[in-house]
Structure 1
Amino acid sequence: MSDIIGIHRVTKTFGDGKSRVTALEDVSLTIRDGEFVVFLGPSGCGKSTLLRMIAGLSTLSAGNIFIDGRPVDGRDPSVGMVFQSYTSFPWLTVEDNIAFGLNLARTDRHTCREKVSRILERVSLTKFAASYPSQLSGGMQQRVAIARALAMEPKILLMDEPFGALDALTRVEMQTFLLDLRSQDRKTVVFVTHDIDEAMLLADRIVVFSPHPGRVAEIIEVDIPHPRTIEQTERPDFTQLRHRLRHLLFSMAKSAA
C-alpha cells in the first residue's frame, strides 16, 4: 500500500510568552492508503489537535502535513470528518442531513437522491429517512453524521472520538457497525480514542501518544485478522495486547506525574 498521509515533524503551540502551551511536539508519521489507524492516548495529549490539522481545520506551528503528496492548506474535499458531538441539523430530516454537503456542492438532484438512498441503506437508516434527529437514538444520530461524511465519497475519513458520548451498549453497537462498514469499503480511516479496547478492536495500527506535550511514544501493529468481533476481545492475543497498551500508558502517566 502507498502512503496517503504524511506527517513530518509537526509541532502545535497555543498562546504566546508565559502563556504558551505546546500541545504537540515533533510528531512524524505516515499512514497508508486503506489503513485504519487509531490515535490512542490520555486526554490532552494532542491527538484530536493533530486530527484537526490533518483535516485542515487548524494551522501548524511547525512541520508539514501532506495528503496524496499535496500540503494540507485548508479543507480538502477528499477528507471527511466525524466529531464526537452529534452534528446533525435539527431542522432537517435524516435524508436532508445526509444530502446537505451534496447540495452545497451543487450535485444534480437525481444523482443526489441516488447517493443518499444508497448511503441510507449502507447505514441501515432507510426506514428513518423522513425522521428528524430528535426522534433518533444517540447511536442513530451518529450514524447520520457518518453517513453525511460518506455521502461526499471521501478517500480519508477522520473520526474524533465519535462514540465517546454514547452509553456502553450503544458504543458496542456502533463499533460493530463501523467494522461492518469497513468490511464493505477499505477506506483510509484515522480514529481518535482513549479507550484501549476500542483501539484494539478497530485498528490496523495503534499510534500511542505520550502525555502533554504529545509525542509519538510507540506505533503498534495489530496483527489480528479480520473480521473481528467484540466477543474476540477476550481471546489471549487481545488480552496480551491489552496488557501491553495498559502498561505503556500507565508507565508514561507515572513518568509525567
Structure 2
Amino acid sequence: MSSLIEVNAVAKTFSSQNGSVLALDTVSLDVAEGEFVVFLGPSGCGKSTLLRIIGGLTSSSSGYVRIGGRNIAGPDPAVGMVFQSYTSFPWLTVEDNVAFGLELSGSSKAGRQRRATEILGRVGLTKFARVYPSQLSGGMQQRVAIARTLALNPKVLLMDEPFGALDALTRVEMQSFLVDLWMQERKTVVFVTHDIDEAILLGDRIVVLSPHPGRISEIVDVPIPRPRTIEMTEEPEFVRMRHRLRTKIFQMASAAA
C-alpha cells in the first residue's frame, strides 16, 4: 500500500508563563492508504496534538505533514475529524445534521438528501432521521457525528478518543460498529486512545508515544486477524500484547513523573 499521510520531523512548542514547552519532538510517520493506525500513550505524550497537526487544526513549529502529496497548512476537505464530544447541532434533526456540511459545500438540496439517506443507512440510523440529537443515546449521537463526517467523503478520518465519554457496554458496541464501517468504507483512519484493549481491537498498527516531550517510542504491528471481537481479549496473543503495551506505558509514565 502507498503512503497517504506523511509526517516528517514534526515538532510542536507551546508558550507558557514558565517559558516554552516542547510538546512533540521530531515525529516522523507514514500511514498507508486504507490503514487503521492508533496513537497510544500516557497523558502528556502529545497524541491529540499530533492528530490536530495532521488535521490542520494546529500548526507545527517545525516539520510538515502531507496528505496525498499536498502540504497540510490548515483544515482540508480531504480530512474529516471526530472528537470525543458529540458536536451535533441540537436544533437540527439527525438528517439535517448529517447534511449540514454538504450544504456549506454547495450541494443541492436533492443531493444533500440522497447522500444523508445513504450515510444514515450505513451507520444504522435510517429510522432516526427525523429525530433530534437530544432524543438519542450517547452512542447514537456519536454515530451521527461520524455520519456527518463521512457524508463529506474524506480520504482520511481522524478520531480523537471518540468513545471516551461512553459507558463500557456502549463503548464496546461502538468499537464493533467502527470496525464494520471501516471494513466497508476502507477510509484511512488515525485514532487516538489511552485504552490498550481498544487500540489492539481496532488498529493495524499501534504508534506508542512517550511523554514530555512526545516522541514515537515504538510502532507495533497487530498480528491478530480480523474480524476482532470482545471475546478475543482473553485469547493468549491478545493477553500478551496487552501485557507488553501496559508494561511499556507504565514504565514511560513512571520515568516521566
1:16 Cα offset (Å):
5.9
Show structure 1 runs of 4+ deviating over 4 A.
none
Partner of 2:148: 148
The DSSP-based 3-state class of the residue aligned with 2:119 is: helix
Distance change in 2, residues 1:16/1:253 (3 Å): closer
- Say yes or no: does 1:83 pair with 2:49: no
Partner of 2:199: 199
Q: Deviations over 1:142-182 (max 9, x none)?
A: 00000000000111000000000111111111001101111
1:254 Cα offset (Å):
2.0
Paired amino acid for 2:85 = S
Question: How high is the TM-score relative to the length of structure 1?
Answer: 0.98
1:17 Cα offset (Å):
7.7
Partners of 2:141 and 2:174 in 1: CA distance: 11
Partners of 1:43 and 1:131 in 2: CA distance: 37
Partner of 2:25: 25
Partners of 1:14 and 1:199 in 2: CA distance: 28
Partners of 2:241 and 2:226 in 1: CA distance: 16
The DSSP-based 3-state class of the residue aligned with 2:100 is: helix
Partner of 1:233: 233
1:22 Cα offset (Å):
1.1
Q: Map of 1:207-246 to 2, 5 A cutoff?
A: 207-246=207-246
Paired amino acid for 2:216 = V
Paired amino acid for 1:164 = G
Q: Deviations over 1:71-102 (max 9, x none)?
A: 10111101100000110001000000000000
Partners of 2:170 and 2:212 in 1: CA distance: 31
Partner of 1:93: 93
Partners of 1:121 and 1:64 in 2: CA distance: 37
Structure 1 stretches lacking a partner, 5+ long? none
1:108 Cα offset (Å):
1.4
Q: Map of 1:55-70 to 2, 5 A cutoff?
A: 55-70=55-70
Q: Deviations over 1:176-214 (max 9, x none)?
A: 110111121211000000000000000000000001211
Partner of 1:118: 118
Distance change in 2, residues 1:118/1:223 (3 Å): same
| Aligned length, in residue pairs | 257
Paired amino acid for 2:40 = L
> Which sits farther off after the overlay, 179-188 or 99-108?
179-188
- Say yes or no: does 1:182 pair with 2:177: no
Partner of 1:248: 248
Partners of 1:147 and 1:235 in 2: CA distance: 33
Q: Percent identity?
A: 67
Paired amino acid for 1:220 = V
> Which sits farther off after the overlay, 67-76 or 12-21?
12-21
- Say yes or no: does 1:168 pair with 2:172: no
Partner of 2:8: 8
